[in-house]
Structure 1
Amino acid sequence: MRIETEVVDGPLALRMRRLDAARAGATGRQILTLPLLAARLAGGFIAPATQEILYPAIRQALEAGGYEDIDKVCQLPGMPAAVLSALRDWWDMEVPASLPDNARLRDFTLLEHRVRGALPPGMLSPPDLVKAALERVHFAPKLVGAVTIQGVPDVKPIWRPLIAALGDVVPVRWIASRHSGRSWFSGEIETHPPGAASLLSVDLCADPRSEVREALRWARMLVTTERVPPDQIAISSASPTAWDDTFLVLSREAGLPVHFTHGIPALATREGQTCAALADILLRGLSQERVRLLFARLPRNPAKQNLPADWAKGLRRSAALTSPGLWRHALEQTRGERVDGDLAERALLPILDELARGIASADMVGRRLLKGSALTLWRDALRMAPPQAIELSLQALRVADGREPGNSIAWGPARHVAAAPRAHVRLIGLDANAWPRRSSENALLPQHLLGHLRLPSADAAEGDQVMHDIIIDQSQNYTLSRAYRSATGSLQASSILWPKDRERVVGRSAIPAHAFSESDRLYARPVDAGKDSQVRASRACWHAWWDGEQHTTHDGRVRPDHPLIVEALAEVQSTTSLHRLLCDPLGFVWEYALHWRAQNLDPQPLALDHRSFGELVHALIGGVLRGGVPRTGDEIGIALNREAALLTGTWPIIRAVPPGLLWEHTIAMARERAFRGLSDALGEDRGAAWTELSFGEPRNEPHPWTTLAPVAIGQTGVSFRGRIDRLDQDTARGAVVITDYKVGAAPERKKPVVFDRGAELQRVFYALAVRSLLPDARNVSSQLTYLKHDPARTLRLMNEELENAIDHAVAFTAAGVHLQRSGQIAPGPAPVFFDPLSIALPTDVDTYRRVKRRVFAQANAALDKLWSSP
């Protein structure tokens, strides 16, 4: 069997030439890169040191210390990557016998010596690999045979002695483009004949995303219209990472076979997302959402198999659960809701204990929870940098995309495409400082410390121009493109390689001649798009929103007596739903008829929102009063301390609370305001006190009511239930005082507060409920106690004012019910606080409300008096 060897450059050329050899049945032909050729000659189990091997050696060398200049920065997270980049540059060039004498170079040569010494047996750096290969070059006739350097644009100086030595023992031929750097080569040279190289178009696109879109349109046109095989098409850039994410998304949408020759970002894979979920917990701590996300993405392994399917049943999604103790307490409280009892605790809690140790346990936790590709990615990320920088490591990792280049469109860096030319190419990113790239200094070995030495990376601009020339020279036809603006919106100048006289502007909204996907086809054919039901609906919605003369279904209008609305009104209402009904008619439909809910995007807030803080204060007051009405300030203080200690531990397992110190501060503030509320009633004889008193729902707790049925609101057909903060009942005098605690400040106004534009509807409905449920009460007073003031400030509503307010509340409820049943529903007034459901309204909501002001005013006329009430 005759042995021959082809030497190629880059992963695309390696796989394509091996595919060609397999198709040709070329037994005995070896397809190797220069490092693999050297390893083949070195013999045994020798292999080039890969990135996965070099990173641990670099970290070991940095940890050894003893450096003059870099000792203070050698433990920084980005140092291993910087050293690897410098080592590759250093090894690629021909290092002279004498070097400039300075501390940085002395440190670097020491570091390089340590890295080479720390490599495992059989794994060699390029200098050692070349040395070992040269010692066995006389075996080349039997090991490699005749050598053909196929399409390699240039050979780095480190490999040139090996090529020269091979030429003395075996035939060496170099077949490449006329632009390749072969002036130093003394063997047989063969030049590829240039292709037709016709320039089809020079496209000036709006931005990088538009460039990708135009590239995919071009590729689709070649495949479908001109019947070009995908393996004859290539799209390239000098540095493709800026376009990778867009290519990944749009190529999947297009359904085109696009092969990323340089790999895809690891975080774009399921395994990468699993690693990211684990890193998120180790770096930022436990939370319920992070733990749920991690276990949803974990591969099948013993840790996950031992966990029952209903392990999270009963856990409140609103609880952050930021420590193993909180998890243990929450799982114990919900044990009865799970089929297997405490199995979830026994399986989950040991894992949570390990996760709670943080990033220091990254290696151990990774081995326990991950396997297969996810574990490989995790280990690679830990090799690259200290565990504390694992986020950056995961972002830098790339993995193979799983596609075969032999039946795919190639997308990758120019060097890969230049080594494996294709007939139809598109070069993108021809902007100034992008192609050719600006020459940059190595971060660890700047030029001013190197003297007469010059690293290969310093010649990046010349290399990019050579790659450009090779790709074009070997093509049949090619197209060029660049972006007028960057992804961030800044203007970009053209490259020196850009043919200005052939430029044509491709607008972002231009109709394409050939679409790359179904959505692009609809964009190209407005008539077809107009037939699509979703497009028709969106266009109708847009026109309806800005038609100031019409009240349409897109504004909230529905048919009279819509079944969902009738069903929602038939439910027993709460004071919260009543507030929606009367102050936000459209929001009532969204929340109670359609059951829309806002997603909680903040698993652990830095502060409780206004409503949650009020509930905390109410819980403190309610806990104190459940043990009896305190008579002195000391009794109030003791009782509050007891309740505060209890809530400090119980609240975090049912809802999200701020981190440690902030939670303690929040409890202290709530205790202070609760003390003001309880002190406000000291010295007053109000009779029996009830707190957190429910009505309208069956409960087995003590209550003063004559019935537990929901309370009807007049003749409106609506009934409601609720919970009163505090109710004081003096049976002898027939007096009842309803107290609604407010954690904010009292309004600065002279007129009495009745509805406050609908914000204080609750206490009027409470008075209605008390009047209905306690028919013997002759004197009902409803008061607002504002706890932000010291002492607390109380605003009372009683006697005739309260009776009028109740009558008006019933009338407003009747109007709200009629509005809902008639279907004339429209957005209410702009909310004072942020309303998460407002995302369903147009983005420019202020302009929308202004355009629709008249029709909305007509629809909401019956409730407008409430929204302007004092």
Structure 2
Amino acid sequence: MSIHSVVVDGPLALRMQRLDAAREGATGRQILTLPLLAARLAGGFIAPASQEILYPAIRLALDAGGYEDIGEVSGLPGMPSAVLAALRSWWDAGTPIGIPDNARLRDFTLLERRVRETLPRGALAPPDLVESALKRLHLAPRLVGPVTIHEVPDISPVWRQLVVQLCDVVPVRWVASSCSRRSWFPGRTETAPAGSSLLVAADVCADPRSEVREALRWARARIAEDGIALEEIAITAASPTTWDDAFLVLAREAGLPLHFSHGIPALATREGQTCAALADILLRGLSQERVRLLLARVPPARANIPLDWAKGLRRSAALTTPRLWQHALESARAERADGDVAEGALLPVLELLAGGISEADRAGRRLLRGPALTLWQDAMRMAPPQAIELSLQALRVDDGREPGNTIVWGPAHHLAGAPRKYVRLLGLEANAWPRRASEDPLLPEHLLKDIRLPSADIADHDRLMHDIIVSQSADYTLSRGHRSASGSLQAASTLWRRDHERVVGRSAIPRHAFSQSDRLYARPADAGKQPQVRSSRACWRAWQDSDRHTAHDGLVRANHPLIVDALAQVQSTTSLYRLLCDPLGFVWEYALHWREPNLDPQPLALDHRSFGELVHALIAGVLRNGAPRNIDNIEIALADEARRLDDDWPIARAVPPGLLWRHTMALARERASRGLRDALGEPRGTSWTELAFGEPIAGPHPWTTLSPVPIGTTGIEFRGRIDRLDEDGARGSAIVTDYKAGAAPERKKTVIFDRGTELQRIFYALAARSLLPDVRNVESRLTYLRHEPARTLSLVHDELVTAIEQAISFTAAGVELQRRGHIAPGPQPEFFDSNSVALPSDLEAYRRIKQRPFAQVNSPLSKLWSSP
């Protein structure tokens, strides 16, 4: 069997040539790259030093220290990647003659020598690989046989000596495009047959995503209309990363087999997302959401952990420390089938994760398996653990497709080594193709003097790749973006052909659609028949109709079952507020059961409502054991209650980080102290705090019944929880206090409804009057705790009776609007309302357009919304 070696350049050419050899049934044909050819000649188990081997060697060399100039930056996270890029450029440039004497180059040559000495036996850097191959060059006839260099555009100086001397031992021929650089080559050269190189069009697209969309339309048209085989089509760019994400999404939607010759981003794979979940928790700390995500994505982490491990845990709790996790799991132990088994299996994992990024290596080996562990270890080699996010973003993996039966998408230098007949070139913008020459950050040109690195000739290299791809094609199409992905205007490349330029707008109808959604986009008549499109168009027209209240504004049929069911439920003061101040929001939240997701597992500050609940909890905890008699007793009781809440709150809801939480607790104690001091010395009878009504209560209570409280004859019943109720049976009076953590309104008028925001106090007074029949006088108080001393606004006697009657009347009006289906958005809320996301984005314009029909619909409630 005769041996023949074919030398190619790049992974695409390597796979295509191996496929061709398999199809031809060729025996004895070796498909090699120049590093593999040198390793074959060097013999034994010698192989080129791969990236996985070089990174640890570089990090060891940097850790050795003793550098004059780069010592201060040698520990930075990006240093290993920068050193690897510089070493590759340095090695590709060949053995430099006359290295200038300066501190940077002395450091770099020391670093390079240390890296080469640190490499394991059998893994050689390019200069050492060439040296070893030259020593065994006399064995080339038996090891490699005749050599054909196939479609290699150019050979780096480091390999040229090997190729030149190889020509003296075995026949070497170089088959390549006429554009290839072969003037130094002493062997036989052959010119590959050129294609017709017909330029079809030069498309100016809106942006990179539009370029991808047009490229897929072009590919689909070549396949469907021209009958071109997949393996003859390629899409390329000088540097393809700008378009990768769009190709990943749109090619999957199109159903076109697209091979990424340079690999897909590791984070686009399930294994990559598994690594990302682990990195997220190590870098940013424990939280309940991160732990749930990790256990869902990492099966080994679930070993021996019961399936119901999270039962009883409040989703709103952040749980940012192992101590909080232990407390939360112990509190919920009774709700799990296996008792403390979950704690024993989960807590050691949480302790490991709480160690942070310093435990990255141990956490990866314990929790990851298979490809996910390989990715994690690759990322750990590239940079220190603190830069694991950047390392994971830089990793790429094979997409699992074969280039022999797919369309190829990849960098231009891959395609130049394996040209195809029908090509589309993307990114023909200035500084993108050809790219601007850039200095190596470690080896700037002013320090190198006469030494020239390949990175300095990147523009010439890109022009060469363009010329080879074009010359070998039957026809080709150019493409560039009018704007970048960030929206900036872009100029055309020097390679751009203005004589064939055509502008392809976003709304242009394609000659051939690439997917079902694209087909509907190209055929408005068909798209208009789709229920979603018809609904969206009807919605848009309805929003612009200033004369009518439509179904897209909230109008529904009378006595809609969902609304009737929602009204039949026992209401809370919160749902009553929605019913009367935001009728459409009541439907969304209580009829459709929409809820805002918790997107902030650990806020920097509690929102107004949560902070108020914390203040109420402190006051309730103090009064649970009776009202304090003096200020000292208040402060002692507050300190005890704050310590208890400091343990209980973080396992039930999200709280700020440690320092901010302590500040929040101190502020809440201050407000609670004002509220408690406000009642000192005032005879109020029996005090009840956080007193529930309208629902079962286990402990003592003053109510005559625990049934929900009816609101007049409206058919609505409600329940709730009063901040503080002081009942004096001897005097026949009761004081209902609603604590407010904020400041009192600056106005002279009595606060009654305050445009609906204080409805709660009126309904609490209604409940007290209904459930305490022996009480003749009820006083409703708003106590604002932001002031020193606390400021109290009271509502008593006829004013309160009138307010209760008005509240019943407003409730009847709100119920009637809901039953009739005349539902519209309420007034603009003072603070952000989560339900606003379901309204048009230009909310002010929408409310302005719909002002008249909304005012007509909401007229029965307008008096409430303007009340003092």
Structure 1 length normalisation: TM-score?
0.99
Q: Report the counterpart of residue 823 of structure 2 in structure 1.
A: 825
1:717 and 2:715 equivalent?
yes
The 3-state SS of whatever aligns with 1:179 is coil
Write out aligned runs for 1:332-411 (5 A). 332-411=330-409
Structure 2 CA distance for aligned equivalents of residues 630 and 682 of structure 1:
8
Q: Equivalents in 2 of 1:514, 1:541: separation in Å?
A: 30
Equivalent position SS for 2:723:
strand
Distance between the aligned counterparts of 2:741 and 2:108, measured in 1? Answer: 64
- Cα offset, 1:837, TM superposition: 1.4
| Secondary structure, counterpart of 1:531 in structure 2 | coil
What pairs with 1:105-184 in structure 2 (closer than 5 Å)? 105-184=105-184
Q: Does the 8 Å contact 2:147/2:173 carry over to 1?
A: yes
Q: Name the structure 1 match of 2:601.
A: 603
Partner of 1:222: 222
Of all paired residues, the percent bearing the same amino acid is 72
What residue in structure 1 maps to residue 556 of structure 2?
558
Tell me the residue number matched to 2:246. Answer: 246
Letter in 1 for 2:393: Q
The code of the aligned residue for 2:221 comes to M
TM-score, with length taken from structure 2: 1.00
Cα distance, 1:310 vs structure 2:
1.0
SS in 2 for 1:724: strand
1:688-739 residue CA offsets vs partner (Å, 9 max, x unmatched): 0000000000111110000000000000000000000000000000010000
The equivalent of 1:492 in structure 2 is 490
What aligned pairs does 1:728-743 form with structure 2 within 5 A after superposition?
728-743=726-741
* Per-residue deviation, 1:98: 2.1
Kindly state the Cα deviation for residue 398 of structure 1 after the two structures are TM-superposed.
0.7
Corresponding residue for residue 278 of structure 2: 278
Structure 2 distance, partners of 1:103, 1:859, is 80
- Identify the residue that residue 309 of structure 1 maps to in structure 2: 307
Instruction: Give, in angstroms, the shift of residue 217 of structure 1.
Output: 0.4
Matches of 1:26 and 1:749 in 2, distance apart?
95
RMSD: 0.6
Within 5 Å, which residues of 2 pair with 1:353-752? 353-752=351-750
Asked whether 1:235 is paired with 2:235, we answer: yes
Alignment match of 1:852 (pick from 850, 853, 857):
850
Counterpart check, 1:73 vs 2:73 = yes
The 2-side partners of 1:137 and 1:340 are apart by: 70
Shift >4 Å, 4+ stretches:
none
- How far apart in 2 are the matches of 1:171 and 1:273? 50
Q: Secondary structure at the match of 2:479?
A: strand
SS at match of 2:528: helix
The reply on whether 1:189 has 2:189 as its aligned counterpart is yes
Counterparts of 1:265 and 1:702 in 2: how far apart (Å)? 63
For the residue of structure 2 that corresponds to 1:31, the secondary structure is strand
Partner amino acid for 2:618? L
Q: Equivalent residue for 1:14? A: 14
The Cα shift of 1:223 comes to 1.2
Equivalent positions of 1:807-826 (< 5 A) are 807-826=805-824
The letter of the residue matching 1:461 is A
How far the C-alpha of 1:313 sits from its partner, in A, is 1.0
The CA deviation string for residues 287-339 of structure 1, in whole angstroms up to 9 with x for no partner, is: 000111111111x33x3221111111111000000000000000001111111
Secondary structure in 1 matching 2:465:
helix
In structure 1, C-alpha distance between the alignment counterparts of 2:859 and 2:255, rounded to whole Å: 53
SS across alignment from 1:752: coil
Q: Distance in 2 between matches of 1:443 and 1:241?
A: 21
The answer as to 2:785 corresponding to 1:794 is no
Q: Which amino acid aligns with 1:710?
A: P
Which amino acid in 1 is paired with 2:541?
H
Alignment partner, residue 260 of structure 1: 260
Q: Does the 8 Å contact 2:52/2:381 carry over to 1? A: yes
Q: Which amino acid aligns with 1:118?
A: T
SS of residue in 1 equivalent to 2:166 = helix
Q: Which amino acid aligns with 2:649?
A: W
What letter corresponds to residue 256 of structure 2 in structure 1?
L
Once the 2 structures are TM-superposed, how far is the Cα of residue 88 of structure 1 from its aligned partner?
Answer: 0.2
Q: Distance in 1 between matches of 2:428 and 2:266?
A: 27
Alignment correspondent of 1:83: 83
1:574 counterpart letter in structure 2: S
What stretches of structure 1 of length at least 5 have no aligned partner?
Answer: none
Residue 151 of structure 2 aligns with an amino acid whose one-letter code is G
CA distance in 2, matches of 1:554, 1:294: 40
Letter in 2 for 1:289: E
Q: 2 CA distance for matches of 1:162 and 1:844?
A: 68
Q: Which amino acid in 1 is paired with 2:119?
A: L
- In the TM superposition, what whole-angstrom CA distance separates every residue of 1:475-507 from its partner, at most 9, and x where no partner exists? 000000101111111111100000112110101
- 1:32 equivalent in structure 2: 32
SS in 1 for 2:371: helix
Equivalent residue in structure 1 for 2:862, among 848, 861, 864: 864
Q: Can you list the C-alpha shifts for 1:32-67, whole angstroms capped at 9, x where unaligned? A: 001111111111111111111100000000000000
Give, in whole Å, the separation in 2 of the partners of 1:555 and 1:496: 54
Residue deviations 1:263-287, cap 9 Å, x none?
1111111111111111111111000
For the residues of structure 2 that align with 1:788 and 1:316, how far apart are their CA atoms?
A: 30
- Is contact 2:94-2:127 (8 Å) kept? no
Q: Which residue matches 1:52?
A: 52
Q: Report the residue type matching 2:198 in the other structure.
A: S
Structure 1 residue 549, shift from structure 2 partner: 1.2
Whole-Å Cα distance in 1 between the matches of residues 118 and 308 of structure 2? 49
Equivalent position of 2:770 in the other structure: 772
CA distance in 1, matches of 2:135, 2:304: 56
The CA deviation string for residues 439-496 of structure 1, in whole angstroms up to 9 with x for no partner, is 0110100000001010011100000000000000000000001011111111111000
CA distance in 2, matches of 1:343, 1:235: 55
Partners of 2:435 and 2:459 within 8 A in 1: yes
**How many angstroms apart in 2 are the aligned matches of 1:22 and 1:837?**
62
Distance in 1, Cα, partners of 2:743 & 2:509: 58
Aligned to 2:837: 839
List alignment gaps of at least 5 residues for structure 2. Answer: none
Distance (whole Å) between structure 2 residues aligned to residue 311 and residue 420 of structure 1: 54
Amino acid at match of 2:674: R
Shift of the alpha carbon at 1:97? 3.5
1:816-857 CA distance string (max 9 Å, x none): 000000001010111111111110001101100100010111
What is the CA deviation profile of residues 247-276 of structure 1, one whole-angstrom value per residue up to 9, with x for unaligned ones?
111111111111111111111111111111
Residue 96 of structure 1 corresponds to 96
Instruction: Give the superposition deviation at 1:675.
Output: 0.3
Shift in Å, 1:343: 1.1
Contact kept? 2:200, 2:500, Cα under 8 Å: no
Task: Write the distance in 2 (CA, Å) between the matches of 1:140 and 1:222.
Answer: 45
Within 1, Cα distance between the matches of 2:164 and 2:641? 85
Report the CA distance between 1:2 and its aligned residue. 1.0
Number of residues of Structure 1 aligned to a counterpart in Structure 2: 868
1:225, CA displacement in angstroms? 1.3
Distance, in Å, in 2 between the alignment partners of 1:547 and 1:37 is 74
Q: Mean Cα displacement is larger for which, 613-622 or 852-861?
A: 852-861
